[in-house]
Structure 1
Amino acid sequence: MDQHPYEYADFTYGAYEPDDTRPPRRNRRPVVVAVGALVALLVTPVAVDRFATARVESNTAGAFQEGMRTPSLPEVHVRGFPMLTQLAAGTLRRVDITAHDIPASDTTGPLPVNRLSVHLAGLRKSDDDKEALARSAEATALLSYRDLSDTLGLQISQGSSPDQIRATVQLAPGADVTVAATVSVLSGNRIAFKNFQVTGGLLPEVGRTALTTVFERPIQLRNIPEGLRLRSVTATESGLSARLSGESVTFRSDDTSRDDSARNGSA
């Protein structure tokens, strides 16, 4: 008998074993845990440092508001990282403060400060916590024309040059006289008005005498931290911009410190 055309080879089926040549998967959980722990170690000090910075800024703002009698808390930014190192050393490397509407002291010739921006270097507290001392400071004070007008009793505005103001005097309805005066700095943190001249209208002699008396009296700044010295004053669109700087600048909570500062400056 002929062999069947379809024959099957004789072989034995064994147990199926998949041919997986890939390397075994590693357990990634320890790696994730390690990375998470490292991130936590890095983030936690940063969070603590930011919290400390916020506390320092808040306390500084409160102390400045109390000492300068501002109606609202000033803006305070403490620079430098880490904060905890600065606190441990007892000195803040740099502090920026911006305060608004600093009232004038109750003395002759008061002039409030509309805005005061102070950049302090090396700020530390005194041993009795009643003062804050800065190694050096630079500041810019804005004196609004409205406050300047109230102080001088004239309508003051910006002049034709950075060192000049303009005053308007109403002698009668429709009869205004405009005069100009040069602003300059005197010792003792005083602002002087010199070389006044009529720039429009007719000014009677009696009026000229009265204006001369007004402009001959300098205005003294008594409501700034002790140690700041007036360096220059410029007439801007918003008001007089006064630049101040100094070393060993002191912030105190009592009002008499500002009067003492003015007296020391004029000595």
Structure 2
Amino acid sequence: MAVSALTSAVCNGGAVLSLSSHILAHICATVPVCAAIVAAACGALHRLLRCACRATYGQASTEQQLVTLMHVLFAVLYSLQLIPYTYFVCVLLFSDSFFLSLLRWHEVPLAILMRHSVQYAVEAALRAAVRPNPLLLLHHACSLAIIAVAFYSTTVIIFVLKLGLILDCMATYEGLLFATLAARKLGARRRTTRALMAAGLGLYAATRVLQLVALIPLFVGSYGPLSGCGGLGMWWAMLALTSLLLLIQLYTFAICESTN
């Protein structure tokens, strides 16, 4: 029953216009708010870190402060959003009617999804200019592409929304890894960072398995319906982007594990 709910209504033409209008209205209403929240969080965390960690963060270069600030930002926001986001995503994905549930509950999960999009865009823009990291930029580009298609597609909107929610929700479970990276840069004891990294890697590995458990039936179950409504090209495009993201995640896991 859970699998059938996950793959239901991936090609529901009658619902597309109504759903698209709701999502576009939501984007127009929430993007400025999300940008303001991210900007305010960055400013507040920067001030807090300069006061609380003068010997490390306060004495670091602008580039180092930027990287550390992004790690702290992601660690804090992911940790705060993890439980409510997981709850609402599960409610949406495994409900009897994804379309009706999304119309009813869309404010919270889509607001978090938009906030993550803003976070990715801000970090990508900053890191493109300061200490560029090609792997990070590629990860954010793939994530933003999937989210953009989820918000602006027509025929495959439900399928890509489900895909985007799964991938983005699983990203919130990376909070401990970001906390570990931040702790290292802020001069935490090695024993503390090793414990954080071990816990973060364990949670990361477990949630990557759950991610696959959700993604495989979504792609397999959506192939037939999408091939019948002209959405097969987008199915392949999303499969390619998702596969690339999973490879980046696997590479990230290997790097983190080797440094623990």
Superposition TM-score tier, normalisation by shorter sequence: under 0.3
**TM-score normalised to the size of structure 2?**
0.22
**TM-score normalised to the size of structure 1?**
0.22
Which structure features the higher share of strand residues? Answer: 1
Which structure features the higher share of helix residues? Answer: 2
**Which protein is bigger by CA-based radius of gyration?**
1
